[in-house]
């Protein structure tokens, strides 16, 4: 048991820590997400089953995310003009901070 705790502590210590700018983007993204996305995608990224779980987007899915937000898909409307480039980047930072 002790060996597992030591390994877990080492993993946490080695994990990249967000910078202050990243923390700000994550906080901003959380606010924009809660205002615009949570109704369908779930509060605090807890899926409702009505829409895809955004935590499953991988780090290399940024363009897919951008395309879906800007153009819409299925029941999701286009958010072009409603969410700025900076807001989309902040939402992406928020999603990635909680990715699986």
Q: If DSSP codes are grouped into helix, strand and coil, which group holds residue 76?
A: strand
Q: How confident is the model at residue 65 (pLDDT cuts 50, 70, 90)?
A: very high
Arithmetic mean of pLDDT, 88-98: 96
Q: Which tokens belong to 28?
A: 């901003």
Return mean pLDDT, the chain: 86
Q: What is the CATH number of domain 19-97?
A: 1.10.760.10
What are the two backbone dihedrals, phi and then psi, of residue 20, each rounded to the nearest 5 degrees?
-60, -40
More confident residue, 4 or 78: 78
Predicted TM-score (pTM) of the model is 0.77
Q: Mean pLDDT throughout 18-23?
A: 71
Instruction: Give yes or no for a contact between 79 and 72, defined as CB atoms under 8 angstroms apart.
Output: yes
CA dist 86 and 50 (Å) reads: 26
pLDDT given at position 4: 57
- Percent of the chain with pLDDT strictly greater than 90: 66
Q: Which alpha helices (H) appear in the chain, and where do they start and end? A: 2-14, 20-36, 38-41, 62-71, 85-97
């Amino acid at each position: 048991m002790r060996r597992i705790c030591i390994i877990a502590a080492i993993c946490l210590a080695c994990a990249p820590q967000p910078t202050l700018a990243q923390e700000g983007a994550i906080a901003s993204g959380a606010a924009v997400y809660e205002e615009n996305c949570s109704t369908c995608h779930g509060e605090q990224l807890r899926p409702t089953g009505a829409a895809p779980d955004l935590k499953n987007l991988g780090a290399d899915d940024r363009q897919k995310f951008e395309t879906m937000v800007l153009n819409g898909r299925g029941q999701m409307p286009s958010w072009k003009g409603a969410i700025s480039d900076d807001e989309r980047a902040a939402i992406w930072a928020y999603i990635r901070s909680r990715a699986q």
